Amino acid sequence: MIEIIDNFLPEEEFKSIQSFMMGGEFRWFYCKGRTLEDDGLYHMVHMFYQPEVGLNSEHLDMWNTFMNQVGAKKCKRIKANLTFNTPTIEFAIFHSDYSDIKTAIFYINTNNGYTEFESGVRVSSIANRVCIFDSNLHHRGTTHTEPDPRRIVVNFNYA
């Protein structure tokens, strides 16, 4: 089951997160593969949390409301992805994040990129939208073609 919820966070809280993540002070790190290392699909990431390392970011607390609203009891990973606009939409490789937990993709800005599932379902990138699904569902992200150079999503994996 794929659940899509618009206007997920309270507007003031969302605008604060959006402004911060799209501003010049938020740190992004180069990654040379979007789905697989060296897959040729570079992008930028900000790892908030992963179990192998633990806390990766001083900004993890900004997701407390989000995690409460999705009902997360245990966090597996929180990772922000930034892809750049391209002349035509480019597709990442279909993949699943983990087995037997939940994934939530949270859209920071609106653009014509999207998340696509192997079933053919497409979820448009709309600011403050969340898409929640079983983490074993195969899905992929895309780039976008609009003038703003960035498409930003945050990927949550949790139980």
Q: Encode the chain (159 residues) as per-residue pLDDT tens digits.
A: 999 999 999 999 999 999 999 998 999 998 776 565 655 666 799 999 988 877 889 999 999 999 999 999 999 999 999 999 999 999 998 999 899 999 999 999 999 999 999 999 999 999 999 999 999 999 999 999 998 899 999 999 999
Q: What is the pTM of this model?
A: 0.93
With b for 16 or more beta-carbon neighbours within 10 A and e for fewer, the 91-121 pattern comes to: ebeeeebeeebbbbbbbbbbbebbbbbeeee
Computed from CA positions of residues 49, 65, 102, 123, in that sequence, does the dihedral angle turn out positive or negative? Answer: negative
